[in-house]
Amino acid sequence: MTAWSKMRVSSSDEGFVYYPMSNTTKDTSLTQDKIKQYLATNSLVEFDSAVTDDSDLFKEGFIDSFGYIELVKFLEKEFQIRFTDEELVSNQLNTLKNITSMVHSKLDAG
C-alpha cells in the first residue's frame, strides 16, 4: 500500500495535490516540484528563463524574513526533517537548487 502526502496549493478544498510517499519521496524531481509549487503559490515565484533554479530568492525579492520562516516550516512538515540553527543562518536555503539539495541531504541522513 502506498502512503500519500498531501500539499495545499490553494485555499480551496480542491486546492490539494497528492504525491505518493513511497521511495519516490527522495526523488530529486519530485522534491523539487513540491518546493517549486510551494514557492509559486506562497511567494509568487514563476520559474522561467528570468528566474531559474539558481536564482537567489532573497535578492530577487520573492522571499523576506517572514517568507523564510514559512518556507522552513513547510519544508520541516512536508519532508519530516529538522534544520539546525547553523543551517538556518548559513544562507543555504536561498535558491531552489540549494533548498532541494539541503532537503535531500537531510532525507539521506535520515
For position 96, which CATH number holds?
1.10.1200.10
Domain that holds residue 89: 23-109
9 part of a folded domain? no
What pLDDT score does 10 carry?
43
36 part of a folded domain? yes
* pTM tops 0.85: no
103 part of a folded domain? yes
99 part of a folded domain? yes
Q: How far is CA 57 from CA 8, 35, 50, 62, in A?
A: 21, 13, 12, 5
What pLDDT score does 59 carry?
96
Which residues of the chain carry a pLDDT beneath 50? 1-4, 6-13, 21-26
Domain count, the chain: 1
What pLDDT score does 16 carry?
55
C-alpha 64/C-alpha 67 separation (Å) is: 5
1 part of a folded domain? no
What pLDDT score does 27 carry?
78
Terminal CA-to-CA distance of the chain, rounded, Å?
22
76 part of a folded domain? yes
Contacts of 40 (CB under 8 A, 6+ apart): 46, 47
